[in-house]
Amino acid sequence: MSKLSNAASRDVETLIHPYTNLATFRDTGPMVLERGKGVYVWDDQGKRYIEGMAGLWCTALGYGNEELVEAASAQMGKLAFTHLFGGKSHDMAIELAEKIKELSPAPASKIFFTNSGSEANDTQIKLLWYFNNARGKPEKKKIISRQKAYHGVTVASASLTGLPIVQNDFDLPIERILHTDCPHHYRFAQDGETEEEFATRLAANLEDMILQEGPETVAAFIAEPIMGAGGVIVPPATYFAKIQQVCRKYDVYMISDEVICGFGRLGDWFGCETYDFTPDSISFAKALTSGYVPMGGLTVPEDMYQAMLDQSRKLGGFGHGYTYTGHPVAAATALKAIEIYEREDIPAHVRALTPLFQSRLKALEDHPLVGEARGAGLVGGVELVADKASKRAFEPQHLVGAACAKAGEANGVIVRAIGDTLAICPPLIITREEVDALFDGIQAALEATEVHVAKKNLRV
């Protein structure tokens, strides 16, 4: 422990870090960040990095945005806290709900606020079960997610998540949660199968699952427009049109998890607009406040709201909610963030930068380590492979992705290793020059990783 700085040593003895190998972390310690401005952050040694992950897919307006700071500060001075329990309310929650209803691509009668995307998806499950009890369909409770999906880490939302690390030894998933195919053409398409043929097969598999389970037992299908923590997986052409057709055929409620894709990431306000499907509900969080204050939520359609009214009449009230549902400081920050997204036309800025971002991303496929570089808007994934021709992956214990992310830090960029896929998701305010600097750093990281792989003979 002596080789760690004072702050790092204190961290190791006091904090549990999510998604971290806690055993090896005791030797490596944390990267301690001290400040940020725009797309940059600085560590406690004074080194500057381009924050190529916008924190965790969330800091869309970058760091040190004075308007967001002022909005939060002013609200703290006016009304630091109140709640929505028992019929109480406040202007910020009302105004924010009105704004999200206006922006929502899903039919939104009402908005329910949470503190995170995990809570939003947890609430989606509870409301679906509540709704189907209210409308006399108590057997219609199963929810279909997908392999490699990420929908959160509460007990229920972690069950929706299709990643083993989130479920192993946590005794998950819970009952009534199912997982259908991951829509990753590069990894799971059959030989010679086009994207559209792959999408057709996956939609047929979903229909077969619904029929096998019994349509009267299947309540919903949930999907991220682009799968984030599963490896930045872009849907194949025609996928969502075919999936939505199956859902409509069997009265299966469709949820778009917009926690990563929402608020401009793909060049539209929401990812379901980019992929041209209309869900029954959306979940949102992260960029809602540009990550400055925790907040999430979901839309509630009119038929579900009417069922909730019936349940209140029957049960005497609606028994769900959080202390911080619609927190006034979070709501004020979210309103200011949305004001900036609109005023600066951030979705248009994303669309303008997308050709450069995606061309620099795609060019990485020329590197001998890269099997596929995929993405849309200002998000991308770079999958590292031991053999390009066969798509053979590295052995997981070699931690090639982690080594590449570490090399990125040495070259002044922060990206995230998801297994052997590098995730790239910079603040949406990034400039053309900063996009080039980001990819220059990633290119340098790949070169350093190639040397590491050869030296360790990791392709064998």
Q: What percentage of residues in the chain have a pLDDT greater than 70?
A: 100
| pLDDT band with cut points at 50, 70 and 90 for residue 318 | very high
According to the model, what pLDDT value does residue 121 have? 98
Cα torsion 108, 109, 113, 118: sign: negative
Q: What percentage of residues in the chain have a pLDDT greater than 90?
A: 95
Report the pLDDT averaged over residues 131-147.
97
Cα separation, 155 vs 167, whole angstroms: 9
Segments of the chain assigned to CATH 3.40.640.10: 67-343
If 0-12 CB within 10 Å is exposed, 13-18 middle and 19+ buried, where does residue 34 land? exposed
231 conformational bin, left if phi > 0, alpha if psi -120 to 50, beta if neither: left
3-state secondary structure 137-203: CCCCCEEEEECCCCCCCCHHHHHHCCCHHHHCCCCCCCCCEEEECCCCHHHHCCCCCCHHHHHHHHH
Give the homologous superfamily in CATH for domain 31-64+345-456. Aspartate Aminotransferase, domain 1 (3.90.1150.10)
Supply 31's token pair: 């990267």
According to the model, what pLDDT value does residue 1 have? 41
Reading across the β-sheet that carries 413-414, which strands appear in turn? 33-37, 40-43, 48-51, 413-414
Nearest to 322 by CA among 11, 93, 12: 93
Those residues whose C-beta lies under 8 Å from the C-beta of residue 414, and which sit 6 or more positions away, are 41, 49, 50, 51, 52, 53, 408
Higher pLDDT: 8 or 328? It is 328
Cα separation, 146 vs 417, whole angstroms: 21
Q: How many CA atoms lie within 13 A of 420 on its CB side?
A: 22
- Kind plus residue range of the DSSP H or E element containing 343: helix 328-343
Tell me if 124 sits within 8 A of 255, measured CB to CB: yes
- Kind plus residue range of the DSSP H or E element containing 134: helix 117-134
According to the model, what pLDDT value does residue 5 have? 81
Cα separation, 424 vs 199, whole angstroms: 25
End-to-end CA distance of the chain: give it in Å, rounded.
34
Cα separation, 439 vs 416, whole angstroms: 14
| pLDDT band with cut points at 50, 70 and 90 for residue 3 | confident
The total of other beta-carbon atoms located within 10 Å of residue 3's CB is 9
Tokens 């053409």, located at residue? 185
Q: What are phi and psi of 351, to 5 degrees?
A: -60, -35
Supply 373's token pair: 């570089």
Q: What is the pLDDT of residues 328-382, one digit of tens each?
A: 999 999 999 999 999 999 999 999 999 999 999 999 999 999 999 999 999 999 9
Q: What is the pLDDT of residues 424-460, one digit of tens each?
A: 999 999 999 999 999 999 999 999 999 999 999 999 8
* Domain spanning 67-343: CATH 3.40.640.10: yes
According to the model, what pLDDT value does residue 6 have? 85
Supply 134's token pair: 């209210």
Mean pLDDT of the chain: 96
Cα separation, 184 vs 239, whole angstroms: 11
Tell me if 100 sits within 8 A of 299, measured CB to CB: yes
Tell me if 134 sits within 8 A of 141, measured CB to CB: no
Segments of the chain assigned to CATH 3.90.1150.10: 31-64+345-456
Q: pTM of whole model > 0.85?
A: yes
SS3 content of the chain, % helix, strand, coil (to 5): 45, 15, 40
If 0-12 CB within 10 Å is exposed, 13-18 middle and 19+ buried, where does residue 388 land? middle
Supply 215's token pair: 């349509």
